[in-house]
Chains A and B, each alone.
Chain A
Amino acid sequence: NAGVTQTPKFRVLKTGQSMTLLCAQDMNHEYMYWYRQDPGMGLRLIHYSVGEGTTAKGEVPDGYNVSRSTTEDFPLRLLSAAPSQTSVYFCASSIETLAMNSPLHFGNGTRLTVT
């Protein structure tokens, strides 16, 4: 059982370039999330989805786009990368809303450096 799979594991971008971080889960979870992790700051929510066809903004959405065309996939797009987007990005999923005491299942992350 693969769980949450993120690709790529590492990427270096130049300022202004675009890229898509891929996330796929095989647990049939309705809820999916994108977080970024910066040193000493914990994880901050970028965007999330409560089901196929839905997306919503999190705490730090600027500079990022998401879509949810299938239950399994939740790609994160950087349209014009900036050095401030250098971070480790984590995708997560949950079977139910967090209000139902449902824990998050995380992928192994994508380490992105923007030069």
Chain B
Amino acid sequence: SQQGEEDPQALSIQEGENATMNCSYKTSINNLQWYRQNSGRGLVHLILIRSNEREKHSGRLRVTLDTSKKSSSLLITASRAADTASYFCAAFKAAGNKLTFGGGTRVLVKP
């Protein structure tokens, strides 16, 4: 399996609920990034968390990073229909200058 794998692959929630998705990676990293992709569009950067950070917030988004477990989570609070998208984590390792994307989590927020 590759660096940066998301879980679950798909998630369906009601508007107003929270959505949590997880990302696991295999080797030590320098930072981990989360991106959103709306259908038929390019990826949009959401949050970057450095390896020496444990938690980061941006609006309704909260990202955690646990380097001991080699995992990260993205929490979207009070979800809206407009949050319907695919979410990708990407793990960056400076040695080799390698950014590896996971396969994504498809989130459906039902109104």
Write the nearest CB–CB distance from A25 to chain B, whole angstroms.
12
| B42 touches A (CB below 8 Å) | yes
Contact B88 A42 (CB under 8 A): yes
Interface size on A, residues (CB 8 A): 21
Q: In the bound complex, do residue A103 and residue B45 qualify as a contact, i.e. CB atoms below 8 Å apart?
A: yes
How many residues does chain B have at the interface if contact means C-beta atoms less than 8 Å apart?
26
B99 touches A (CB below 8 Å): yes
B42 touching A101, Cβ below 8 Å = no
Top 10 closest pairs, chain A to chain B, by CB: A106-B42, A42-B101, A103-B45, A43-B101, A106-B43, A99-B94, A108-B42, A42-B103, A40-B103, A42-B102
A41-B103, A105-B45 given. 6 additional CB < 8 A pairs? A40-B9, A42-B103, A43-B43, A90-B42, A101-B50, A108-B42
The residues of B that contact A42 with a CB separation of less than 8 Å are: 2, 4, 88, 100-104
Let me know if B42 and A99 touch, CB within 8 A.
Answer: no
Which residues of B, 56-110, contact A by the 8 Å Cβ criterion?
Answer: 88, 90, 92, 94, 97, 99-104
